[in-house]
Amino acid sequence: MTIRMFCATLSTLALLSTGVAYAQTATTDKPAAAKKVQAPRTEKSLECSKQADAKSLHGKPRKKFMSTCKKA
């Protein structure tokens, strides 16, 4: 009876410890993916942004305006 209890306790502890081990492992992919390099903004982009601000555009209308403004 004591050997069965010992084996059951040992297997339970093994299962619980593997969950803790996986929870503590750090992944190296996430910090690298979080750091995205943004391209510097051009003068045309900044000028279009100022015009959109003057017109109080936000959301989809701003995005559409910025797209057409940069192409012009």
Buried b (16+ CB within 10 A) or exposed e, 7-44: eeeeeeeeeeeeeeeeeeeeeeeeeeeeeeeeeeeeee
At 7 the pLDDT is 79
At 38 the pLDDT is 80
pTM for the model stands at 0.47
Angle at alpha carbon of residue 62, lines to 35 and 53, rounded to 5°? 95
Q: Within the chain, what is the greatest distance between any pair of CA atoms?
A: 84
Q: Can you give the pLDDT of all 72 residues of the chain as single tens digits?
A: 688 888 788 888 777 776 655 655 566 655 555 667 788 888 999 999 999 999 999 999 999 999 999 998
**How far apart are the C-alpha atoms of 71 and 44, rounded to whole Å?**
9
